[in-house]
Structure 1
Amino acid sequence: MTSRPAAGGGRWIPVPAERLETWLAGFTHRHGPAKVSIDGDVIHVHAQDGTVAECHVPFPPLPRLDARPLPSDPKDTPPTDGGLPPRPGVDPRPGVDPRPGVDPRPGVDPPPRREAVRPPLPEGDSLTGGGPPPRPDDDPPPRFEGAPLPGSEGRPLPVSEGDSLTGGGPLLRPDGGPLPRPDGDLLPRVEGGLSPDPGGGLLLEALVAHAVASRRVGVLLVRLGGHAVGVFEGTTLVVSKVGSRQVHGRSAAGGWSQQRFARRRDKQVAEATQAAADTAARVLVPHAPTLDAVILGGDRRTMTPLRADRRLAPLFALETQPFLDVPDPRLTVLQDTPRHFRAVRIRLLDPPT
């Protein structure tokens, strides 16, 4: 991973989607426990030593955590009287007796209910089935409040996953890093003082899941003299087309020859731009309804005339950052673009001195 200076301070670090989880675990291990907050499409991870990692969500927006319905959510079932979901085989309509064999027509009296007769309990049993009821002369079991159990001196108490010895926080190693979870996951459980979700780890888990998700992405790369278009299923290139046109460089000579050369070059630029637009309209536009996003790259000034082409309006409507700064578009350059547009851009801010 290479970094470059960021405007306004800090530095940009592109982290591959598959390595994001490991990078976040290493960040909290190096800089201490962190607090997580989200502002628009940027997730801020504030470490204990003052270092801040601003994670820009790829292919925004990040799905809301509370927008994922559970398979057995009671809200998915229409409520009956009292707000409870209907039982299987019971008519949820109001005024209908749920007992089997009862005529649902109005005005028909239901049969009288029979009181259940409970058999006598054997001597020494309780209603809950947990043994004989306590006698008045029995002493209550001893309670230990703050004192260790006999024989447990020096042994750690069992702690459930995600809890700390003080309650409500993550388990940390002596060096400040998070303990690995039983399932082998490396994602840390961070303290969520600034996070809308309890624990803050849910927000980072959602970011990792969103980053590694498979998408259908269109790519359009244009530079003077060359263009490349393609459709990716995840990281696999399924449709592609690469083309090139000759465009002469600028001439420093003066006089009539310079003007003739400039007119010839302008014509070559227009032909190259038109060829790129025709290729994009023929290859990418038919796939536009199935695309999740469109990534642009190459030269921004060369891309500007293509935005005025009405045939490409469906593509530019799906434009997603970042704009890729790539060399002359070739097939190898096009095949390498998933490494760039799937990476999570992180702005790392060092602690103030």
Structure 2
Amino acid sequence: MVKIRPASGGGKIVEVEPERLPRWVANFATRNGGIASHHAEGDAWTIESNEGTSASVVWTLAGGLPAGWLLDDDPLKAAEHLRDYALEPRRIAVLLARKGAYSVGIIVDGRVTVSKTDTAYVQGKTKAGGQSQQRFARRREGQAHAAEKRARDAVVAVLGNADFDALVTGGPVEGILEDPRLAKLKPAIHFGDIAEPKQALLTENAYRAIGFAIRIA
């Protein structure tokens, strides 16, 4: 499913699944009077239309971009090269976290090979005052600390000695990754807008990570 969001500074960003990139480029050309030029610069492939609209294509999984973005004189062929590159087999680790919940695993060829998922209760904030508020705050802090410890131990168990090509994270994972045992883990891409962590979301976010983010201006 294509996701669209506003881009900082104007325009919009469209997230396109890897298989759909060639069709998206063809539709962009049709909607904007054809493609005048295209080139790779830095981490983006920029397409300029005859009507002045530009599309800056970035591979979401930023590490390991191919030299020259595998470009071809024909922009549709270039899009096909990029699609094929994005769909090459990879081992992708995914770590998702949200208040008291986590899911961590490794996805190979769209299949979860190993994972751990758990949800723990963490009390919400209370409007009570005085000693009651302090008591609730201490309880909430203790629950959050225990949940984070379980998440850290799970990530160590699943990813600590595992081999993978990239780590994708989602949600507030900073506290988990502060664990000294996880010092080697460096996220290649982070998504802030995730739902409740579940095993099914591991595959969904791994797939999202190999897609393309296109800024239209």
Over aligned residue pairs, what C-alpha RMSD do you find? 2.0
Deviations 1:272-295 (A, max 9, x none): 1111111000011221xx211000
Distance 1:7 1:25 in 2: 26
How do 1:184-333 residues align onto structure 2 when only pairs under 5 Å count?
A: 199=73, 201=75, 203-287=78-162, 290-298=163-171, 300=172, 303-316=173-186, 319-333=187-201
Higher RCO (C-alpha under 8 Å, 6+ residues apart)? 2
Amino acid at match of 1:265: R
Q: Shift of the alpha carbon at 1:339?
A: 3.7
Question: Does the Cα contact within 8 Å between 1:56 and 1:346 map onto a contact in 2?
Answer: yes
1:204 Cα deviation from its structure 2 partner: 3.6
Please name the residue that 1:340 is paired with: 208
Cα distance in 2 between the residues matched to 1:305 and 1:242: 17
Separation in structure 2 between the aligned mates of residue 327 and residue 9 of structure 1, nearest angstrom: 26
Structure having the higher strand fraction is 2
Which deviations, in whole Å up to 9, do the C-alpha atoms of 1:168-188 show, x marking residues without a partner?
xxxxxxxxxxxxxxxxxxxxx
Match of 1:44? 46
C-alpha separation between the residues in 2 aligned to 1:244 and 1:297? 15
Report the TM-score when normalising by structure 2.
Answer: 0.90
C-alpha separation in 2, matches of 1:322 and 1:346: 17
Q: How many residues align?
A: 213
| CA deviation profile, 1:144-192 (whole Å, cap 9, x unmatched) | xxxxxxxxxxxxxxxxxxxxxxxxxxxxxxxxxxxxxxxxxxxxxxxxx
CA distance in 2, matches of 1:58, 1:285: 24
> Partner residue of 2:14?
13
Which one has a larger percent helix, Structure 1 or Structure 2? Answer: 2
* Contact residue 324 and residue 340 of structure 1 kept, 8 A: no
Which consecutive residues of structure 1, in runs of 5 or more, have no partner in the other structure? 69-196
Task: State the TM-score, normalizing by the size of structure 1.
Answer: 0.57
Distance in 2 (CA, whole Å) between partners of 1:325 and 1:295 is: 13
CA deviations on 1:303-333 (whole Å, 9 max, x unpaired) are 22223211112222xx112425211112233
Q: Is contact 2:94–2:206 with CA below 8 Å preserved after alignment?
A: no
SS of match in other structure, 2:185:
helix
Single out whichever of 257-266 and 325-334 deviates more from structure 2. Answer: 325-334
Deviation at 1:205, TM superposition (A): 4.1
Aligned partner of 1:29: which letter?
A: T
Unaligned runs of 5+ in 2: none
